[in-house]
Amino acid sequence: MRISWIKKGLFFVLVLAIVIPVLFPLLWMLASSFKTQVDIVAWPPRLVFTPTLQNYERVFREQNFLKYFINSSIVGISAVAFSLIMGLPAAYSIARFKQKRLSIFILVARLMPGISFLMPWYIIFSRLKLMDSYVALILSHMLITLPIIVWIMSSYFETIPIEMEESAMVDGATRQRAFLSVVLPIAGPGIVTSVTLSFIFSWNNFMFSQVLSMEKTKTLPIAIYNFVSYAEVDWGAVMAAAVAIMAPAIILTMIFQKYVVKGLTMGAVKG
Amino acid sequence: MEPKKIRGSFLERNLHIIFPMPAVIFVVVMMFFPVLYTFFLSFTNWNLTSGMPLSIVMLRSYQRILREPRFLAALGRTFSFTALAVSVETILGMIIALILNREFKGKGLTKLIMLLPLVSTPVAIGIAWNLFYDPTIGLANFVLTRLGLPKQAWTGSSSTVIPSLALVDIWQWTPMIALILLSGLASLSNEPYESARVDGATEWQIFWRITLPMVTPTLLTALILRSIDALKTFDIIYAMTGGGPGYSSETLNIMAFKYSFEYFRMGQASVILVFLFLLVLIMSLLIVRMRKSLEL
């Protein structure tokens, strides 16, 4: 009896040794976002302090973070939506017609360094007077979201038994009809996985917006970056901004945890 | 499954071409052509700020960049950053996966916590780590002094900046390797383990002889994918040091970014991009090859 207790205790300690280092930086960020500047620069660092909301007030009132929030949402949601429209049929085709080469093509698209096409875009979008436009940003973010969606969905469609469509087709439906009314309705979990992950990676993207957006379409990662570069670092406000920007991705992850794990372990990571 | 009878409308007969068409056209236009254009630019000396029209100089931009000590240093740094980060991530990830590979109360919560770093916004993470690393008020130095060790400059000194940045990458991506391996371990069959135990094998032997070989395909795929992403690391380095102090944390990606969007030397920037591109392409082909030979 005793030995099994010791074993259990030891295992518990091991799990804590894994979880605490992972969680600690995030918790410290959260704590710092409720600290005054005095508490943040205090030495030794303070664990006990009186929480304040003034950092969040500063971020949302004075820094206009709401606008960047909306920009990030517009870009992320549109990029995901257009990628679904283009990606779902492509993924279906890869899965059902065993288009190996096409799937490799999409894999390579996901792996290519963003900067190797960002520079030409910069030149082209400036010529077309599309700098600082939602169009340019959405198009660029679609190169993050589309490969993720095709990648996840093609392996998801493969798990759907082909008999489903075949029986519909025997009843006289065309294949495209069967895809729309038989396959898509039961592909919900896969779509949730791919939408969640691709939205998060669009939301977190920094490089594309840093180059292609200016004041009008600036997204959150750029806003927080600029926030630090200006003047002396107001750590409390920066941490509040960091918490605010990460909250949506973390909440999505909590809601769709099961799907996110599945999507990530399928190898579809990062844009 | 016998092939379907050819029938129906034009759309239905050509579904395998029409369905993927929009996505393929999009990727070709938005990625393939731009990459070709970058290749073309690498043979020019185009400089956006000079106002001069571009002229083709063939390999002269390559010669200049290849002789540039800053480029060679960045190339080496890109490799050392990747090697350091990915090797630690792999070993730690393996250990974590082996520990967590059993049923216990709170496993779901543990997995959820491990997901958080990899969905966190890298720029925000980088900035938060800058607060830890701050030499005067940072937690990192507080921990060191408590342990009786001397304070460090962390990202502030050229000798410690790369390991300090790699540590952030390790924090963010070790959980992903662990999660991938965990799902790989969960899919292994129990049989070889049982017979090994019957034969009286030690846990250590079981790990080296059974677990590791069986999980190797998963491990290799995860490792190469992670290496490609580590080679391209941009957000964290750019947000934390901008490539500094001096050029001491400048990787190829950061250098290419500066050449393109700070100095506007498009010709030379393109040369750096071609190198980065080739590096990633070689790694990608490695994955494709491996997937084929392992039939993943």
Q: Report yes or no: A271 at the B interface, CB cutoff 8 Å.
A: no
- Cβ atoms of A178 and A169 within 8 Å: the answer is yes
Poorest-confidence range of A157-171, B88-102, B157-171?
A157-171
Whether residues B101 and B20 share a domain: the answer is no
Helix (H, G, I), strand (E, B) or coil at A216: coil
Q: Which residue of B has its CA nearest to A254?
A: B112
- Alpha carbon distance B160, B153 (integer Å): 7
CA distance B252 to chain A (A): 10
Q: Which residues contact A262 (CB under 8 A, 6 or more apart)?
A: A193
Whether residues B91 and B205 share a domain: the answer is yes
Q: Which residue of B has its CA nearest to A199?
A: B119
Whether residues B95 and B231 share a domain: the answer is yes
- Range(s) of the domain holding residue A230: 56-265
The string of pLDDT tens digits covering residues A47-56 is 778 888 888 8
A215 domain-assigned:
yes
pLDDT reported for residue A1: 58
pLDDT at A57 over 70: yes
pLDDT reported for residue B1: 44
Whether residues B231 and B166 share a domain: the answer is yes
Whether residues B102 and B170 share a domain: the answer is yes
The string of pLDDT tens digits covering residues A14-39 is 999 999 999 999 999 999 899 888 88
Whether residues B215 and B98 share a domain: the answer is yes
Q: Do A267 and B222 touch (CB under 8 A)?
A: yes
Whether residues B217 and B147 share a domain: the answer is yes
pLDDT at B230 over 90: yes
- Using CB atoms, pick whichever of A146, A176, A211 lies closest to residue B11: A176
Poorest-confidence range of A195-199, B166-170, B205-209?
B205-209
How far is CA B14 from its chain centroid? 38
The string of pLDDT tens digits covering residues B189-222 is 788 888 888 888 888 888 888 888 888 888 888 8
pLDDT reported for residue A232: 66
B273 domain-assigned:
no
- Cβ atoms of A237 and A40 within 8 Å: the answer is no
pLDDT reported for residue A270: 33
The string of pLDDT tens digits covering residues A66-102 is 899 999 999 999 999 999 999 999 999 998 888 888 8
**Where does the pLDDT of residue B289 fall: very low under 50, low under 70, confident under 90, or very high at 90 and above?**
confident
Whether residues B242 and B106 share a domain: the answer is yes
B292 domain-assigned:
no
Per-window interface: A 233-252 vs B, CB < 8 A: 235, 238-239, 241-242, 245-246, 249-250, 252
Measuring CA to CA, which residue among A67, A151, A152 is closest to residue A107?
A151
The domain spanning residue B235 has which CATH number? 1.10.3720.10
Whether residues B151 and B228 share a domain: the answer is yes
- Range(s) of the domain holding residue B25: 10-39
Q: Do A41 and B137 touch (CB under 8 A)?
A: yes
pLDDT reported for residue B93: 94
Q: Do A22 and B31 touch (CB under 8 A)?
A: no
B69 domain-assigned:
no
- Cis peptide, bond prior to residue B150, ω within 30 of zero: no
- Cβ atoms of A238 and A182 within 8 Å: the answer is no
The domain spanning residue A139 has which CATH number? 1.10.3720.10
B160 domain-assigned:
yes
pLDDT reported for residue B294: 61
Whether residues B15 and B161 share a domain: the answer is no
- Cβ atoms of A227 and A238 within 8 Å: the answer is yes
- Cβ atoms of B107 and B256 within 8 Å: the answer is no
A110 domain-assigned:
yes
A69 domain-assigned:
yes
- Using CB atoms, pick whichever of A42, A89, A239 lies closest to residue B19: A89
Measuring CA to CA, which residue among B233, B225, B224 is closest to residue B81?
B233
Q: What is the 3-state secondary structure (H, E, C) of chain B?
A: CCCCCCCCCHHHHCHHHHCCHHHHHHHHHHHHHHHHHHHHHCCECCCCCCCCCCCECCCHHHHHHHHCHHHHHHHHHHHHHHHHHHHHHHHHHHHHHHHHCCCCCCHHHHHHHHHHHHHCCHHHHHHHHHHHHCCCCCHHHHHHHHCCCCCCCHHHCCCCHHHHHHHHHHHHHHHHHHHHHHHHHHCCCCHHHHHHHHCCCCHHHHHHHHHHHHHHHHHHHHHHHHHHHHHCCCHHHHHHCCCCCCCCCCCHHHHHHHHHHCCCCHHHHHHHHHHHHHHHHHHHHHHHHHHHHHCC
pLDDT reported for residue B150: 83
Percent of residues, chain A, with pLDDT higher than 90: 37
B168 domain-assigned:
yes
Q: Do B31 and A117 touch (CB under 8 A)?
A: yes
Q: Report yes or no: A121 at the B interface, CB cutoff 8 Å.
A: yes
B154 domain-assigned:
yes
Which residues of A fall within a CB distance of 8 Å from B122?
204, 206, 221
Which residues of B fall within a CB distance of 8 Å from A45?
137, 139, 142
Measuring CA to CA, which residue among A200, A214, A217 is closest to residue A271?
A200
pLDDT at A268 over 50: no
- Alpha carbon distance A266, A159 (integer Å): 13
pLDDT reported for residue B6: 52
**Residues B123-146, mean pLDDT to the nearest whole number:** 88
Q: Which residues contact A39 (CB under 8 A, 6 or more apart)?
A: A46, A49
B138 domain-assigned:
yes
**Residues B63-90, mean pLDDT to the nearest whole number:** 92
**Residues A167-185, mean pLDDT to the nearest whole number:** 85
CA distance A54 to chain B (A): 19
pLDDT at B51 over 80: no
The string of pLDDT tens digits covering residues B231-271 is 999 999 999 998 879 899 999 999 999 998 988 888 889 99
Q: Do B1 and A162 touch (CB under 8 A)?
A: yes
CA distance B72 to chain A (A): 19
CA distance A163 to chain B (A): 10
Whether residues B14 and B132 share a domain: the answer is no
The string of pLDDT tens digits covering residues B269-284 is 999 999 998 888 888 7
Whether residues B96 and B240 share a domain: the answer is yes
Q: Do B12 and A116 touch (CB under 8 A)?
A: no
Q: Do A112 and B127 touch (CB under 8 A)?
A: no
Which residues of B fall within a CB distance of 8 Å from A117?
30-31, 34-35, 38
Burial class (CB in 10 A: 0-12, 13-18, 19+), A101: exposed
Q: Do A104 and B288 touch (CB under 8 A)?
A: yes
**Residues A183-212, mean pLDDT to the nearest whole number:** 91
**Where does the pLDDT of residue B142 fall: very low under 50, low under 70, confident under 90, or very high at 90 and above?**
confident
pLDDT reported for residue B172: 95
Total of domains in chain A: 1
pLDDT reported for residue B79: 92
pLDDT at A185 over 70: yes
Per-window interface: A 43-82 vs B, CB < 8 A: 43-45
Q: Do A142 and B23 touch (CB under 8 A)?
A: no
Q: Report yes or no: A20 at the B interface, CB cutoff 8 Å.
A: no
Among A8, A18, A82, pick the best mutation site for testing chain B contact (most B Cβ within 10 A). A18
B210 domain-assigned:
yes
Total of domains in chain B: 2
A49 domain-assigned:
no
Which residues of A fall within a CB distance of 8 Å from B130?
228
